[in-house]
Structure 1
Amino acid sequence: MALSWNEIKNRALAFSKQWANAAREDAEAKPFWLDFFTIFGITDKRVASFEHAVRRLPHAHGRTDGFVDLFWPGVLLVEHKSRGKDLDRAMDQAMGYLAGIAERDLPELVVVCDFACFRVRHLASGETREFALADLHKHIRLFGLLAGYKTQTITPQDPVNIKAAERMGRLHDTLKASGYVGHPLEVMLVRLLFCLFADDTGIFQPAQALRTFIEERTAPDGADLGPWLARLFEVLNTPEHQRSPHLDAQLAAFPYINGRLFEERLPIADFDTAMREALLDACALDWSAISPAIFGSLFQSIMDEQARRNLGAHYTSEENILKLIRPLFLDALWAEFRKVKGHRNRLFEFHKKLRQLTFLDPACGCGNFLVISYRELRQLELEVLRASYQDGQQMLDVHQLIRVDVDQFYGIEIEEFPAQIAQVALWLVDHQMNLRVSEEFGQYFARIPLKSAPHIVHGNALRLDWNDVLPAQRCSYVLGNPPFVGAKYMSAAHRDDTRAVFAGIDNAGLLDLVAAWYVKATRYLQTAVGGHAPVRQATAVPAGVASRPPADLDGTVGLAPAPPRAAFVSTNSITQGEQVGVLWGWLLAQGVHIHFAHRTFAWSNEARGKAAVHCVIVGFGLDDCADKTLFEYAEPRGEPLALPARHINPYLVDGPDVLLPRRSQPLCAVPPIGIGNKPIDGGHYLFTRAERDAFIAQEPGSAKWFRRWLGSDEFLNGGERWVLWLGDCPPSELRAMPRVMQRVQAVRAFRLASSSAPTRKLADTPTRFHVENIPDQPYLIIPKTSSEKRAYIPMGFEQPDVLCGDAVFVCVGATLYHFGVLSSAMHNAWVRAVCGRLKSDFRYSAAIVYNNFPWPDLPAEAAPGSAAHRARAAIEGAAQAVLEARARFQQGDRPATLADLYDPLSMPPVLRKAHQGLDAAVDAAYTLGGAPKAWRTEAERVAYLFTRYRQLTQPLPATVPRPAARRRRSASA
């Protein structure tokens, strides 16, 4: 066990007095440093070598050989001089030795000393400090790594995370190549991870004990490394009092670890020189600096060669994890702490409460969410201890005062290796926090042997009863990041897993895989309250303030429990499009309330090759709360703005609970829309301009049957395609065109070859399209898919001689008024809130988006001069201005495409201004129906539209709510 700082300081004072008069390097330097090590409880004379031979940079005399006075590989290099000698020259000499030292042996500290004075340089930072021997006790923390007090700021961005994973990857590859594979390999790597971390954080004493053991006790060819590691694992699994009195002294110095980490007997691995070198290279890294939150996932990726090519591409950033855990529980706990920190008894009860909390991640992976949650809970506990002892009262025993522990954390993971990593990662962050406590209070604190363990279950969360992992009555919070698999991409195994979960939910085949966790979580929460939603009025108490669960895990009775709550990261698809009605219709019927939500944002990570998907975070429970929060994003990769909300609906806006149905006709009196034409022709009727001209040259009679063809790509990005439309061609004329008949025959053959019976049936009418939409008047085009970056979906009018494909919607009979409303900020906000997505792009639809849209109450037959008539005219005028602004750039040799015009970076100011005028006209029209005169956020627009929707669909008109009082706070508030 490491000494307390008080003991170390007392020893440093005694050391300074004992050696106050030392002066001669040759006679006194070696005993001086041996005695120096005893300050930190190090009595093993083998930890460092004296007069260590090394090549150095040439100096004035040209010599390149030399002897380091004292060298501890990876830890310490000392150049000692007689009293009064030049320390500048001594430091130059010491630094010159570094060029001759292998990279993995470079020390953390370079020290020069003349008995009377120390000069200490931290090699990584370059910081140098000088002090007198008499003041050693004042600066003794510089040498904290010698005593196991090695604390530093842990950041995911630290390159050591990537380096560590890469070196473990090399070790993995060499072991695998030797035939050491499967479960033994995974367990071996997890054990080595723990040992490497222990070697740098004071668990193993002295520092670098593992590395020294490997270097001194194993042969350079690695032949005996496997047996020595197996013996070491046995020792780590054996309590000290049960070990043989004849056990090798170097092995006996290793502590008993427990935690069942080293319990399983593994096959002995066969190492060679390269494998031994790979392990020693791993030992050379500073493992105390790794972030368990990100490293666990990096570590997992070494098992997958493809993932390793882009190491760290798919792993969650701490910033994004905090977006979930802060509003779920952390903000409320900090708020409560600030209220009670000045009251000793209430602070004591609050500390007990922290021990009562339990957390379940039912898709924990490598434990990222659990690790960060635990770290933040320990940080809060540290603040509790600071507040408790800020009056100078001496802490008796920090071991008795640290209550929060890893056994409060539960997880389920379907793969074995990540489950093992999750457990070890929690132990690692536990020790990192223990080191912070040690540094803070001057008492070394380590939970070795491990008496508590996280409850990480290797199993299928969709088939397990979560109550078997953690009874819901004892659960405080369910959280995590379940897997993202779209409904269309779910495997047969996924379907089997979700079949029982989705039982009783209509149209569950539309749901993405992540929806199964919402359903399972809701059923789990119900078991905590007797199988039904609690009858409870909303209160102003923030989520998480009430004590949960009913009893302290140590046996201390707590306060009355509140129902557990949950929060998941999800693809935004479950809050948009058809899935909303299916999933949230069921969830709302079970009594689910949304407590907080992050609207769509880019879920990125801190590692190389950042991957991002568009996600939401939804916090929910069966109890209601008054203090709801919506986190808005101006753009997906921006920072969130936290806004208070009265009620958060399934579309994640502050509005009433509305589930939009698949409506076959528009809600309001507007023209219907439908998709364009769907030929199912194998491409035989579609031509480029050059192909059309060549075809007509050989078949002149076909010219009049060609029509311009617009798909979504041509409409937005330009280009020219043509279609051979033969639906109206008389049989006699058709038969007179042999090349056209060849096309007809090719289409018939294509359809007959289909595996789809309806498509084969279409072979009976090969000149007709599967879906036909042949306008006889000008019509409006709306592309089905539009980039998320655009503020407005580009729409436009076309003449009836142009035919459209099925990648666009066609609205026959649309006027400038309809174009204006559909092109406004109001309609585009509706689209972004309720439409489905194709990747991150908007996926417009007739049944959900257009047909459910609540138009302003501006009847076409409004009396001239009335407010409605004036508002409609204003919209038409503003719409015309938008079309004219476009036309200015759609002329000349290089006409702008709609994609050019609506790119936020290249949108012409005149067009942007025209759209702003149109937005103002449409907003004014809605104001006639009770809408606010100004909107602070897009979510407020959508909230009003949902209220307007309810007015149109319910017999009694709803009262239009005013937005909640303006209150802004940052995401970290």
Structure 2
Amino acid sequence: MRLSWNEVRARAAKFAREHADDKDERSQSQRFWIDFFDIFGLDSRRVTTFEKRVQQLDATKRGFIDLYWPGTLIIEHKSAGRDLLSATKQALDYFDWLSEKERPRYVLVCDFQRFQLTDLADGREWKFHLSDLPRHVEAFAFILGAQPRFFRNQSKASIAASELMGKLHEALAESGYTGQDLERLLVRLLFCLFADDTGIFEPKDLLINLIEQHTSADGRDLGRVLNDLFDVLNTPEEQRQSTLDPELTAFPYINGGLFEGRIRTPSFNNAMRDMLLDACAFDWGEVSPAIFGSLFQSVMDAKARRAKGAHYTTEQSILKVIEPLFLDDLRAELDRVLARKDGGRQVALKAYHDKLASLTFFDPACGCGNFLVIAYRELRELERKLLKETLAGTLISGSGVSAAAFSRVNVDQFFGIEYEEFPARIAETAMWMADHLANLLLSADLGELFARIPLTKSAKIVQGDALDTDWAEVLSPERCSYVLGNPPFIGAKFQSEYQRAQVRRVAGLGGSGGTLDYVAAWFIRAAAFVQRGGGKGRIGFVSTNSITQGEQVAQLWPILFGRHAMEIAFAHRTFAWSSEARGMAHVHVVIIGLAARGHEPADKRLFAYADLKGEPSESRHRAISPYLFDAGGLANPHVVVAEAGRPINGARQLVCGSKPIDGGHLIFSSGERATLVSAEPQAASFLRPFVGAEEFINGGQRYILALQNAAPQELRAMPKVRERLERVREFRAASPSKPTKALAATPMLYHLNVLPERPFLAIPQVSSERRQYIPIGWIEPPTIPSDKLRILADASLWEFGVLTSAMHMAWTSFIGGRLKSDFQYGIGINYNNFPWPKADEVQMRRVEGLAQTVLDERAKHTLASLADLYDPDTMPPALRAAHAKLDAAVDRLYRPTTFPSDRARAEHLLGLYEASLGALPLNALKTKTRRKRATETV
């Protein structure tokens, strides 16, 4: 019987512990790999061979593959610390020496501690350490006979086409042809290029022949000819002048509004004409209409993208939304209908066709229409498969029946809202292109050319601000089947005043309106829209992962779960955004699918990523938490972690370090400190080391003037110091912030004064997600911590041991906030709400002893920074082993059985948090940590 992934992860954790000290290839490798395959319940001797002999075809070289699974896997093993690059080269040599039939798909190199797995079929690669094996074990799904699920991506041809048009757009813009005219010109050219290669223009190559043969080589008359062409395309054949040039009369009437209105005549030169001819020479029949979102992205500058929160989606990512939202269900339903053998099969086929024709799709942030285009393409493909079965493969050519009579799915089932005209028009045009491509495929099946030219129907794309537009005016909520898309990603701190006001209005949180990202407003509007339509519609949005982490969870999700009665129907956990367009935005995203309570599926689908740039594995659950893991074990699957004003379990108070708000005038480099002390030696006693997260993790030296207790006569004796104070005063007085202005009267005080007199534990506010552990440790006076550190005074080894454990890291990873993808440690979420374990004296002493071992291992590397020690590629094995033992001891304080993954740890902790809520005083979750101006001694 095949093992579950939870069982596999548990076995992997046990394997990692048992083989943590293995080093020697000769004496330990075979037992290592026998036990490795046993993780998956597979006897390696049944499928693999140790020391498989191979040789080159010319027999000049021979060697032995350490472990070989014919057609599946080569393993090349080395002793601990050996070069894996040479091991990879050796394994690939052996691959070349094998026959075509024997060659495997996967190559794995390992030195006991490091694993490097390569999928030769698609080039994907996984690199991780032995201790991380439980987190990456799904990379070996092929051992269980499974493969990760793949989503199609756009072709390289589409990317190249986008680049061609992007260059032409830039050239025209640089020459001064800009604005709406340029945008409309580009959209019209896109359609014409596509039409020239896909049968809309007949015969083929009408456009390229017009440009090559009827415009001058220097391009001076090209703009005029294009405008004449656009006029012709907008005029029915019977209304055209009889004296029209014959090279123009051949073009068909398009209609649909695409060529309405004359644009300013563009002026081309030879280079621009060549660019357009290059674009004409390209085969646009191979280009997906969905690529035009990437085209728009390529001609927007980075600053404009950030202001609009614009991130254009690949086909691969779109499919991750639409497949679980509706496509998988529609495909499965069609398969069931086609499998029927009874007399009701034809009735069922007709009912299914009626359903396809009745579905409506609404993207309230549609951009260039990528989501609508791909959804339409897939819907037409389902209809095509249905019609092939319905017509039983018979041709209708010559029957007198038009193919148009059979196709009932059309672009007018699709709706959108877009802020700007250019992408809105691209969206309409791309939908027509998608329609034409689908018609060509159906034409091949039915034996009759099927083209909807002139255009009579179009997608309804409304230009406007989606948060200010009544969605019901675009599409009745009762008619809406699916709301989908990729709303803009603008963080709370980067929104304009108008955007913040929009979010406050939509969320209705009162007060300051919370700290919601802009995308949250689309979730709330969509939930209200579906609820208004009776709850039958479904929602699927791409979002920044911020709405599933940190303080935003407690602000957004009670609105969706409570006010609008939504449930999570499916979700993709965090993955890296993929786009091959120029200037793509690098972000980490999630995908959330929502359904109204009472209309949600019984099984909720969750897609998780062992590799953020890889493919997901899918699991099914009774309920999904807003933190995007299994909520089936919770009494209330809607439980969220609200920011707490103090520790909920009686732990010692954690505070922020000092926050000077000084414009940098109180802070000194080593050189600047030396200069000041040389001029004013008495300043030396007031200059104290100043350490933030950067210095704490990576090393480096800064100093800060600590003048809180300086006597007036001492300040009068230091004119250069007083100059600094005056600059601080001026900086604060010029601030638009009222609290900062108030600080101008006391420039010798910080905004937040934390001046430790005893050693204290420091936790960096931000730390790289690459690290398995946030580096924390003790700092001693006279060092002053900055507000980029969290400070725990009088901390014990017990507290250090728990806070640096895998349990606390799991809580931080899954519940705490993120800055981009890095860990962002917040006091109110990460620390104050963390469920501390219960331990007796013996258990506490054991944790303290193991915590000291971690510190001892660090101390052996006096020249290494914490960044060096906790980089996953350079972490000393002994330090890693010390952490692993500490992790196991802390884990056992929570439950006796092993946790198979960090996600399992987080799920367990959330259950403990939920159980603790009933015992909390009312103000524990309402009062945020108070920031004090007065000097604090810690």
Task: Structure 2 unaligned segments of length 5 or more: list them.
Answer: 1-150, 632-636, 921-938
Is contact 1:360–1:410 with CA below 8 Å preserved after alignment? yes
1:568 aligned to 2:541?
Answer: yes
- Superposition deviation, residue 783 in structure 1: 0.7
- Superposition deviation, residue 266 in structure 1: 4.2
Is contact 1:829–1:942 with CA below 8 Å preserved after alignment? yes
- Superposition deviation, residue 899 in structure 1: 0.9
- How does 1:414-813 map onto structure 2 within 5 Å? 414-495=419-500, 497-498=502-503, 500-503=505-508, 505=510, 507-529=512-534, 563-590=536-563, 591-608=565-582, 610-623=584-597, 624-655=600-631, 656-693=637-674, 695-696=676-677, 699-729=680-710, 751=732, 756-762=737-743, 765-813=746-794
Q: Secondary structure at the match of 2:487?
A: coil
**Aligned with residue 875 of structure 2, among 899, 907, 914:** 907
Relative to structure 1, the CA distance from residue 753 to residue 565 in structure 2 (aligned partners, 3 Å threshold; closer, same or farther) is closer
Q: 1:232 aligns to what? A: 229
Q: Secondary structure at the match of 2:517?
A: coil
> For residues 751 and 589 of structure 2, what CA distance do their matches in structure 1 show?
36
Is contact 2:159–2:291 with CA below 8 Å preserved after alignment? no
Bigger mean CA deviation after superposition, 658-667 or 844-853 = 658-667
AA aligned opposite 2:316: E
- How does 1:214-363 map onto structure 2 within 5 Å? 214-218=211-215, 225-226=222-223, 228-243=225-240, 249-266=246-263, 276-299=273-296, 301-302=298-299, 315-343=312-340, 344-345=345-346, 346-363=348-365
> For residues 520 and 707 of structure 1, what CA distance do their matches in structure 2 show?
52
> For residues 763 and 223 of structure 1, what CA distance do their matches in structure 2 show?
64
Is contact 2:504–2:514 with CA below 8 Å preserved after alignment? no
> For residues 170 and 701 of structure 1, what CA distance do their matches in structure 2 show?
63
Relative to structure 1, the CA distance from residue 320 to residue 248 in structure 2 (aligned partners, 3 Å threshold; closer, same or farther) is same
**Aligned with residue 916 of structure 2, among 940, 948, 952:** 952
Is contact 1:477–1:564 with CA below 8 Å preserved after alignment? yes
Deviations 1:872-914 (A, max 9, x none): 233222212211221122x2xxx11111111122112222222
AA aligned opposite 2:448: Q
> For residues 675 and 874 of structure 1, what CA distance do their matches in structure 2 show?
30
AA aligned opposite 2:566: V
Is contact 2:396–2:448 with CA below 8 Å preserved after alignment? no
Is contact 1:301–1:307 with CA below 8 Å preserved after alignment? no
Q: 2:10 aligns to what? A: none
Q: Secondary structure at the match of 1:426?
A: helix
- Superposition deviation, residue 694 in structure 1: 5.1
- Superposition deviation, residue 342 in structure 1: 1.9
> For residues 741 and 171 of structure 1, what CA distance do their matches in structure 2 show?
59
AA aligned opposite 1:259: G
Q: 2:414 aligns to what? A: 409
- Superposition deviation, residue 819 in structure 1: 1.0
1:873 aligned to 2:878?
Answer: no
Deviations 1:14-40 (A, max 9, x none): xxxxxxxxxxxxxxxxxxxxxxxxxxx
> For residues 583 and 305 of structure 1, what CA distance do their matches in structure 2 show?
29
Is contact 1:315–1:606 with CA below 8 Å preserved after alignment? no
Q: 2:161 aligns to what? A: 164
Is contact 1:169–1:303 with CA below 8 Å preserved after alignment? no
Count of matched residue pairs = 750
AA aligned opposite 1:665: R
Deviations 1:727-786 (A, max 9, x none): 345556666666666656665565556555544544555544332223343321101111
Deviations 1:912-948 (A, max 9, x none): 22221121111111106xxxx2334433322221111
AA aligned opposite 1:605: S
> For residues 452 and 762 of structure 1, what CA distance do their matches in structure 2 show?
63
AA aligned opposite 1:381: E
> For residues 641 and 938 of structure 1, what CA distance do their matches in structure 2 show?
16
Relative to structure 1, the CA distance from residue 672 to residue 261 in structure 2 (aligned partners, 3 Å threshold; closer, same or farther) is same
> For residues 769 and 215 of structure 1, what CA distance do their matches in structure 2 show?
71
AA aligned opposite 2:529: Y
> For residues 854 and 594 of structure 1, what CA distance do their matches in structure 2 show?
25
> For residues 780 and 934 of structure 1, what CA distance do their matches in structure 2 show?
29
> For residues 709 and 802 of structure 1, what CA distance do their matches in structure 2 show?
6
AA aligned opposite 2:548: T
Relative to structure 1, the CA distance from residue 755 to residue 606 in structure 2 (aligned partners, 3 Å threshold; closer, same or farther) is closer
Backbone CA RMSD of aligned residues:
3.2
Is contact 2:297–2:583 with CA below 8 Å preserved after alignment? no
Specify the structure having the higher radius of gyration (Cα). Answer: 1
- Superposition deviation, residue 669 in structure 1: 2.2
Bigger mean CA deviation after superposition, 897-906 or 700-709 = 700-709
Q: 1:833 aligns to what? A: 814
Q: Secondary structure at the match of 2:773?
A: coil
AA aligned opposite 1:168: M
> For residues 726 and 405 of structure 1, what CA distance do their matches in structure 2 show?
73
Deviations 1:402-446 (A, max 9, x none): 222211111111100110100111111222222223334443222
AA aligned opposite 1:645: H
Deviations 1:702-721 (A, max 9, x none): 55544333221111011223
Q: Secondary structure at the match of 2:857?
A: helix
- Superposition deviation, residue 263 in structure 1: 3.3
AA aligned opposite 1:607: A
Is contact 1:567–1:618 with CA below 8 Å preserved after alignment? yes
Relative to structure 1, the CA distance from residue 937 to residue 752 in structure 2 (aligned partners, 3 Å threshold; closer, same or farther) is same
Is contact 2:219–2:273 with CA below 8 Å preserved after alignment? yes
Q: How does the TM-score come out when normalised to structure 1?
A: 0.71
Is contact 1:825–1:919 with CA below 8 Å preserved after alignment? yes
Is contact 1:856–1:925 with CA below 8 Å preserved after alignment? yes
- Superposition deviation, residue 677 in structure 1: 1.9
- Superposition deviation, residue 652 in structure 1: 2.0
Task: Structure 1 unaligned segments of length 5 or more: list them.
Answer: 1-153, 535-562, 859-867, 957-973
Deviations 1:189-238 (A, max 9, x none): 32222122111111111111222234444455656555544443343334
AA aligned opposite 2:364: P
Deviations 1:554-587 (A, max 9, x none): xxxxxxxxx0011111111222222222222222
Q: Secondary structure at the match of 2:649?
A: coil
- Superposition deviation, residue 164 in structure 1: 3.4
Deviations 1:227-279 (A, max 9, x none): 54444334333444555667655444332323222333445556666655544
- Superposition deviation, residue 306 in structure 1: 8.4
AA aligned opposite 1:280: L
> For residues 248 and 746 of structure 1, what CA distance do their matches in structure 2 show?
75
Q: Secondary structure at the match of 1:954?
A: helix
> For residues 305 and 280 of structure 1, what CA distance do their matches in structure 2 show?
28
> For residues 695 and 263 of structure 1, what CA distance do their matches in structure 2 show?
71
Identical-residue share of aligned pairs (%) = 51
- How does 1:56-71 map onto structure 2 within 5 Å? none
AA aligned opposite 1:482: P
Relative to structure 1, the CA distance from residue 478 to residue 442 in structure 2 (aligned partners, 3 Å threshold; closer, same or farther) is same
Q: Secondary structure at the match of 1:472?
A: coil
Relative to structure 1, the CA distance from residue 354 to residue 934 in structure 2 (aligned partners, 3 Å threshold; closer, same or farther) is farther
Relative to structure 1, the CA distance from residue 411 to residue 763 in structure 2 (aligned partners, 3 Å threshold; closer, same or farther) is closer
AA aligned opposite 1:331: D
- Superposition deviation, residue 686 in structure 1: 3.5
